Structure 1
Amino acid sequence: MEIQKPAMAGTLESSDAQVTVAPGSNGIELTLESSVMNQYGRQIKATVLSVLEGLGVQNAKIKVVDKGALDCTLKARVECAVFRSNGISAQNVPWGGVIK
């Protein structure tokens, strides 16, 4: 899947994450800010990259501002931002079925 336009999902509330995606041309460019970077930074990065790989995203600029979100929340936010960037509506989207 290709990132068509900038899109965002999530909030900056505690236990959530705000994910912003934009078109890119040099592979995945990931920027990560997290209140738990020292403890979970590598796991957050691995989760985001895994979701992007599962969706077939190869070129994108991704910014994640994490406020202590669980893996399932991170997965949902990345998936939603990618779908929004492609203008895919809630209709006929296999929410939760794309990411295993």
Structure 2
Amino acid sequence: MEIKQFASAGTTESSDILISLAIHDQEEIIIELDSNVEKQFGQQIRQLIKETLEKIGISSAKVTAIDKGALDCTIEARTLAVAYRAAGTNGKLDWQVIHSWNN
């Protein structure tokens, strides 16, 4: 999957995360994280975002995440939503790919 445009998903409300995704000119995923729980869970949040993007075929992106105590399932859902928006899929999701790693 290729990032074609800037996109964001989520909110800065309590227990949520706002994730923005932009095109990156190098073959790497860069994650900038602002979180109240950075010391305890920062590495885990970054790893979950990176793994989720890689599972749907994104290997190059600039990610900005503002975390307000989101659970892993919320982080994963927001990451998927922003990735599909940034790829310009217009709501056409490959549910088989999404579903396959949860089994």
After TM superposition, give the deviation of residue 85 of structure 1 in Å: 0.9
Letter of the structure 1 residue corresponding to residue 20 of structure 2: T
The change in CA–CA distance for 1:74 and 1:84 in structure 2 (over 3 A counts) is: same
* CA distance in structure 2 between the partners assigned to 1:16 and 1:89 by the alignment: 24
Correspondence for 1:2: 2
The change in CA–CA distance for 1:40 and 1:91 in structure 2 (over 3 A counts) is: same
The change in CA–CA distance for 1:38 and 1:78 in structure 2 (over 3 A counts) is: same
Correspondence for 2:82: 81
CA contact (8 A) 1:33 1:66 kept: yes
After TM superposition, give the deviation of residue 89 of structure 1 in Å: 2.8
Identity, % of aligned positions: 37
Letter of the structure 1 residue corresponding to residue 99 of structure 2: G
- Structure 2 alignment gaps of length 5 or more: none
CA contact (8 A) 1:21 1:85 kept: yes
Correspondence for 2:33: 32
After TM superposition, give the deviation of residue 46 of structure 1 in Å: 1.0
After TM superposition, what 4+ stretches of structure 1 lie above 4 angstroms from structure 2? Answer: none
Aligned length: 100
Map 1:1-100 onto structure 2 (within 5 A): 1-26=1-26, 27-94=28-95, 96-97=98-99, 100=102
TM-score normalised to structure 1 length: 0.91
TM-score normalised to structure 2 length: 0.88
After TM superposition, give the deviation of residue 29 of structure 1 in Å: 1.2
